[in-house]
Amino acid sequence: MHRVVLRRLAALAITLPLTAAVVFFLTSVLPGDVARRILGREATQEAVDAKNAALGLDRPLWQQFGDWAGGFLRGDWGTSFTKGEPVRGLVLAHLGRSLVLGGAAFLILVPLSVGLGLLAGFRQGTRTDRVISVGGLIGTATPEFVSGVVLLIVFTVQLHWLPVSARPEHGPAGLVLPIACLLIATTGYVSRMVRSSVVTTLEQPYVRTARLKGLTTNELVRRHVLRNSLLVPITALGVQLRYVVGGLVTVELLFNYGGIGSLLLEAARDKDVPTLQAATLVAGAFIMVTFLITDLLYMWIDPRVRIGQQR
């Protein structure tokens, strides 16, 4: 287990600097001028050049990157070019909002998808199995902006039950539709993975023996099926966890929710390099941590994985 942690930390130490360098140099070739965007189209070229010099954008790229990386390591993430705010507070505030939304969705996703997958697996070939499988497939195949618009039309425009956006002034009620939109997109995929694992587990000889011994369905699930059916779904849940926190751009824009995804998009559009760099590194670090958590869960559930890592 210690080897896995050390390997992941070493990968993190290598991947994040490379990611930062790639994002920095790719941002430099994007069309547009930061100073022109800040000052407006009517600004003179002299004013634009002076603004670029004030932002340090007239220096060589390698020097800009070196100064930014050194400041980031010291805890100085710089100042947003377009917002004029400290990048550190800006990124962490948006990340916190994404964690609230993504965490709430994930806490519902786990029991919901596992429960539906168990139900479909135990009733393989029945109408219940077909409804869960087809319904999940439809939800997974439906783009988030389509399901989100449908939810807004039904629950906001027609029924007037929920607010149109997830802005802070709407409180917890504003999060209901974004969470529902995320669950529609993710539940079907995970539940299908659980169902497939449950069906495979139920065909094992030890499960048939347990049935012959007279174990009830609840005992069978608790003692044999659940633990042995979660290895594959853990990977699916890890993928969905990375998505519901790091890939929320569509949902955040649709419901006017200021999370890390919308901040990344805005920073890329405005060529706000300090904000884009910091947000990318924070999101990348989160993704690497989810990989580590997934590996640790694998080893906790299946000792054979733990033994294999030690060889």
231-282 tens-digit pLDDT: 666 777 777 777 776 667 888 888 988 888 888 888 888 888 888 888 888 8
Regarding predicted confidence, which is higher, 121 or 36? 121
Q: What is the identity of the amino acid at 51?
A: K
CB 284 within 8 A of CB 11: no
Q: At a CB cut-off of 8 Å and minimum separation 6, what does 140 contact?
A: 185, 186, 188, 189
SS3 letters for 95-143?
A: HHHHHHHHHHHHHHHHHHHHHHHHHHHHCCCCHHHHHHHHHHHHHHHCC
pLDDT tens for residues 209-226?
777 777 776 777 766 676
Lowest mean pLDDT across 14-23, 58-67, 201-210, 276-285:
201-210
More confident residue, 233 or 74: 74
Mean pLDDT for all residues in the chain: 81
Give pLDDT, residue 82.
82
pTM here is 0.80
The most confident of the ranges 9-13, 20-24, 251-255, 290-294 is 251-255
- Judge whether residue 297 has pLDDT over 70: yes
- According to DSSP, residue 165 is labeled S
Tokens standing for residue 203: 């065909």
What does the alpha-carbon distance between residue 279 and residue 28 come to, in Å, rounded to a whole number?
17
The CA distance from 119 to 270, in Å, is 48
Q: What SS3 state is found at 273?
A: helix
Q: Whole-angstrom Cα distance, residue 30 to residue 17?
A: 20
Q: Helix H segments across the chain?
A: 2-28, 34-39, 45-55, 61-73, 87-122, 127-141, 144-152, 176-202, 205-212, 217-220, 226-228, 231-246, 249-254, 260-270, 273-301, 303-310
For position 69, what pLDDT does the model report? Answer: 82
Integer angstrom CA distances of residue 85 from 49, 211, 212, 272: 22, 63, 67, 12
Q: What is the pLDDT of residues 134-145, one digit of tens each?
A: 999 999 888 888
Long-range contact list for 110-113, CB < 8 A, 24+ apart? 110/237, 112/183, 112/187, 112/191, 113/186, 113/187, 113/190, 113/191, 113/194, 113/233, 113/237
Domains in the chain and their CATH numbers?
Answer: 32-76 (no CATH), 87-270 (1.10.3720.10)
pLDDT per position as a tens digit, 159-190: 989 998 888 888 889 999 999 999 998 898 88
- Average pLDDT of the segment spanning 188-198: 87
Is the pLDDT at 295 greater than 90, yes or no?
no
Judge whether residue 305 has pLDDT over 60. Answer: no
Q: What are phi and psi of 173, to 5 degrees?
A: -60, -30
User: Pick the residue with more confidence: 129 or 295?
Assistant: 129
Distance from CA of residue 49 to its chain's centroid?
39
pLDDT by residue (tens digit) across 86-108? 999 999 999 888 888 888 888 89
| pLDDT of the residue at 180 | 93
79: β partners: 86
pLDDT at residue 307 above 50?
Answer: no
Q: For residues 55 and 57, give the distance between their C-alpha atoms in angstroms, rounded to a whole number.
A: 5
